[in-house]
Every structure is written in C-alpha cells, then in structure tokens.
Structure 1
Amino acid sequence: MATTKTVDLILDAGMALVAGAGPDGASVRAIADRAGVSAPAVQHHFRAKESLLHGIYARAVDCHLEVTAAALLPVVLPHAERVAEPARQGVIVEMATSVMQEWLREEGRATLTSVILHLLVHAVRDASYGDLASRWLAGTVTAFESVGVAGTGDAQFLVELLIGAALVSAPGRFRCENDILNRELFRSACGARDWDGGFWLERYRTRHERTRPDSDPSGEGEGLYARLLDVCVALTAEVGADALSYRKIAARAKVAPSSVLYHFPNRTGLLMALYREVHRRFMLAAGTEEVEPRAQAAPAAGLFAKLIVDEMAGEAPLFLTSCELFLASWREMELAPDALFMRLERGKMHGVPQLSPSERQRAHLHSIWSLGLALTQYSHASSHRSRDVELRLRDGMRFLDD
C-alpha cells in the first residue's frame, strides 16, 4: 500500500511538472521535491528518466480518457440511438463543446490535457512514446463512437479537431474568447443551421489586429535577422520552445548572445516573430491560389499533406514549431494575449482578396484541424506518411462537405 501511494505521489507530481515546465523541465529532483519524497525513492520506482516519463504519460492517458467519458455521458443518455439530420449536427456540436470545456477546466483537467498534448508532441520526436499516444487516440475515438451519432471516420475527425482547438486554447485570461471561438468552430465544422458564418472570428481578429513586420524591425543586419529566425524555427521544431534561450540560439547561429538580444529584445517579441515566420513559410510553400478555401477536397487534401509532411525545420516537421509555440502559452500564462493572436492568425491568408467571412472561417477551421491531424498522424510510425496523411485529410474534408 505504501509503495502504491508513493508511486501515485510521484506520478501526480510528474504530471504537474510536465504541464508546468515541459518534459525537459520535469527533472527527477524537481518531481521528488514536489512529491515530498527523496530522489532515490523516485529512482527506486523508475530506474531512468524515460521510464518515469512513460509512467507519467500512461497515468495521464488513463485519467484523461475518464474525463472524456464523463464529459460525454450527459450526451449519451438522451441520444442513445442514432439521430437524423439536422438534430445530429446539434448533438455533435453539444458533445464537442462539452468535451472541450471539460478538457480546459482548471480543476486538474487542464493539467491532464496539457500532459496529453506534450505526449503527442513527444511521440512525434520519439517513436517509443507512440504506443501511449495511439492508446489515447483510440480510446478517445471509441468514446465518441459510443455516443451513437458519429461513425469511426467522423469520430476521428472530431478528435483531431478537438486536439487542434485545445492546443490553441491555453487556459488563461482569454478563456471566454476561446470558448466562443470553439463553439463557432464546432458549428462551422458540422454545418449547423445556426452557424453565424464566422462572425466571432472576424470580430476578434479586428479587435486583436497587430502590425506585421515583414523583416528586421531595426532595419539593420537583415541577413543576420533572417538567419537567427531560421535557427529559432529549427530549434523549436527539433527540441521545443524551452530551447529558445538566447545562449542556445547564439551558440547554434555562432554569434554573440548580444546579437540575438539586439534583434529580439524580449522573449515575447521573439515568439511572435517566430510564429509569423512559420506562417510565412507555409504560405510561401502553398502559394496563394492553392490555399483558397474554395478549392475542392482532393486538391486541398494533397496540398495540406504536402505542407504537413514535406515542410521541414531542421531535422523536424515545420508544423511542430507551431505546436511548441502554443504549448509555451500553456506553461507561461503571460503569453495569453500572444496565444490568442496566434490562434486568430491561423488560416489567415494575407494578400488573398474577396473572401467572404464564411470562407475565411473555413480556412481557419482547416488550419486548426490540420494541427490536430498532423499530431495524431505523426505520433505513430508509418512507412507511407504522405499517403496516410492525405487519406485522413480527404476523409475529414468529406465530413466537412456532407
């Protein structure tokens, strides 16, 4: 009994630290201090840091699946039988909203969700975590299927969308705005009749609009500015946003730390410049004509698959940079305004004229959904990555077009 209690204390402390500092910040010493046990006691139960992280993630998977099932329970009871359109749309919106609110609740749920997001990102970089990520995904999809209003393909799409929406909805001072945007996102995804055509997205984008610098804001050393950004993008994708210390950036770029500080006087400015650079690279890779939301499902699926699979940052997929930046806002609440702004920028196609609010909303939906899809597809091994991603994109787009 004492051994079980000690392990529980260690794993609970580990989950809190992974959520608050990321897996790298959850050191054995820090976990031991938080759990109120000695470091040797932690090492007695978990011989290596990797086994400890596996234990933390496994506990988070079990707990998070329970949270999701509990959130869906009120939806299951009145809708045990498969229902017809348009009532089915309303039920899907109801259950997606219920699950998202539960995932983001402060009373421990947000910690669990943060750990799950870290697990999915970690599994992209390290295949040894793929089984845990796949178990969480399979269990969550099954929970959605059990409601009786979504088949396997629809449930997979909804879970991918929920992952993307959770990633960009870090709990913080903009909780209300994120809740409104998520409801609008789910209504647009399901084609609900009461959908307002992207009204709230447009309103919040206007309210939080910022100046977009195209290059080095100082006007000097533009070549170095671009090189530093390139280093930051690669570091973030390869090892995470926690690697963005000025010392590590300077070492990789082979410049003095003062040069990094000159171009990026504070961390917030660095993160926002980094996010805009990632957005610019995706837009450049896509070209403006192909990314228009008017595109048919098959060409759009091929394009998104190319962006997810082929665009790299150093030795890692470029999309991981976006994921890491949003995860940083989960851990650093002072980044909440920047996280909301980054969310509002998702799918914003600068220079593409004459799009209606509903078309801009669709591009926004595709962008957020593709984050969740990319994480789930990369969190398990595949010998045919491009094909698998494109098939999932086509299946999801059929759900959107139904």
Structure 2
Amino acid sequence: MLDIAEELSRWCAQGRDFAVATVVAVSGSAPRRPGAALAVDADGTAIGSVSGGCVEGAVYELCQQALETGESARERFGYSDEDTFAVGLTCGGVIDILVTPVRARGAGRDTLGTALATAARGEAAAVARIVEGPAGLLGNALFVRPDGTYEGTLGGHPELDRTAAGEAVALLDAGRTGTVEIGADGSRCGQPLVLLVESSVPPPRMIVFGAIDFAAALVRAGKFLGHRVTVCDARPVFATAARFPEADEIVVDWPHRYLDAQQAEGLLDTRTVLCVLTHDAKFDVPLLVRALKLPVAYVGAMGSRRTHLDRLDRLRAAGTTELELARLHSPIGLDLGARTPEETALSIAAEIIASRRGGTGAPLTGAHTPIHHDGAGPMAGRIDSVA
C-alpha cells in the first residue's frame, strides 16, 4: 500500500472513500511482491497494481464489493489450466490478497491517513496490519515510526500493539516489507496472528563522481531506478545544473572530501550506490580508499582494463586490503557491448540491480535459474520498498 502512498494520501485529504487490495503473501513465481497494492475509490478510479494485469479485473471487483459491504476480505489467486474462464496467474504462482475498505468516517482512517502522508513526504514509515486472524481484526492497522512510537490499534489484547510496533521497527530499520507471526496477546505463544509490515523509507542515494558526459546518462538511469542522485566533481566548469538538469544535487568539491563529510553527517547507508566515473588517479584513489571501507551497497569505477590494473596497484600501495578490493566493481557495468553514454549507463544500472537482487547477468533464455530472485545478492533486503 505504501508504494502508492502519494496518490492515496491525496485521496485521504480529499475525503474520498476507497478500498485497497494488498498482496500479503506470495508463493512460486509471481509478478509483484508483498506490499504491492491496487486501490479503487467510490467513483471507480483505480491506481496501482497487484499482478501486472493477470487478476486486476477480479481484484477491482473485490474492492468495489468491500466498499459496499464495509468488510475486509482475503482472497487467493493461483493458476488453473482446467477452467478456460478461471481468473489466475499465468506465471504459475500463487498470491494472497487482502482487501480493506477505507471510508472517510471509518475506524482507522486517521491512522492510515497519517501513515500515507508521512510516506508521501519521503519520510520513514511502517504500517502493520493483521492479514491472518479473527475476522473482526482483519485489516486493522498500526502506524509505526522509526523511534518505535505508534498510532492506531490492531485491537484485541493491549500488549499486541506494543509487540507489533517492535517487530515493525526492526523491519523498517532494514527497509524491508514482510510478514511476522505473533501471539494474539502479544506474546510468542498462544493463538497466532499474522501481520504484514510494510516499510517505506527515503529513496536510496546514488552519488556519481565525475561530471562527464557518461554521468549525465547515468543520472537519468539512477532517477529511473528511484534513486536520489548527486553529482560531485572538483571542477566547477563541468559540475553545473545546465549539464545535469535531472540531478537532485550538484556538488563542487574534491570527491574524497565530500565523501568524508557525508559519512561524518551519517548520510550514507547500506543502500547507497557510489559510481566513480572520473578515471583520474588523483581523484579516484583517495576516493576509493575511503569508499571501499564503507558499508555501502555498491562501489563501481569506470576505466579500461589497463586503468583498472593500475588503479589496483595504487590502491594496494595506499593500504587497501584484498578483501576491500574484492568489493570493487571495475571496470564498471555488465558486458552488454555498450558504446554510447546511454548504453553504458544501462550497463551500470544492470550491474547495480544484479548486485542488489543476486542476479547473474546471464540471458534468461535457456537458463534454469529463477526469474525473480528473493534477495540473494550482497544488497539483498536493503532497498525493498517499497516494495
């Protein structure tokens, strides 16, 4: 649901009645993950998606039904090749959908409105909802902040909200959306409830060092992938808004000095992507010495194979360990045969995705590996946001 927070927050502010259908469980191959949502208002306007088109029509009708009855419902969609008219997933997977009405004067409306507005502003927020348990509690929601404070109630035992908030903070801290099982009384035993915790965190950062023509294309690719993109270069004649109109921030500073300042201010995290495009030793080496020690998601450096070998020698001489060097993606990007800045940016973006998701970069044609990876890579679980 938080993946469409901006639109839903607007609906709340306008006083609209709507129903939201959320993917709460997935098995096998499925196009969307838990947290993906489709919402329908009283006028029939729809936003979002739960399956990429396979079951959208049926889920749309469930939302309309929930608006009429005012009751939450859970529905399962799978694959059926026996009934020509059956609604299901062509990919062979199974998804469970929770449909919840959100009426202007309904219980929990203010809680969801606050959570949606917080996520829409780009601030960290988590929503915990009961997706499996007593019918009277189904869909009840709790809005949880990073500091553990919360609004709303899941109903039932007084300790349930406190325990659920603790679980939500743990998932929010990791930037993950997922399900947790706890007792109805807030303990680890007793009658179980299943909660879906949706996490919304600020966009991950991409910092592009080197204001060259390839950087302009990479800025566009980074924005397309949902990153907040900064361009940093020590040369003011190149680092200008006119050359990088789509960048969120342009910084004129020595790259290593800027990185030190960002680290000191706590503005780098395990989702941050660093792309070094300067291929100039006086910039690259002091920057990479620092970057490879940081717990960021990805560090890549542009340059020919000869430049790469020379860079490795310089980094070793500067005290960089072999373990740290193993984290360096250089030459940067996957082998796509890229030539133009746009093709090169695509190659870099593909490597970032593969590193994040645990992909191999090999063609899917003829392969026997899963199409959708469940976070097997070194960046796994760090940018799920939202789903």
Q: Which has the higher contact order (CA 8 A, sep 6+)?
A: 1
Q: TM-score, normalised by structure 2?
A: 0.24
For normalisation by structure 1, the TM-score amounts to: 0.23
**Rg comparison, structure with higher value:** 2
The structure with the greater share of residues assigned to helix is 1
More strand by share: 2
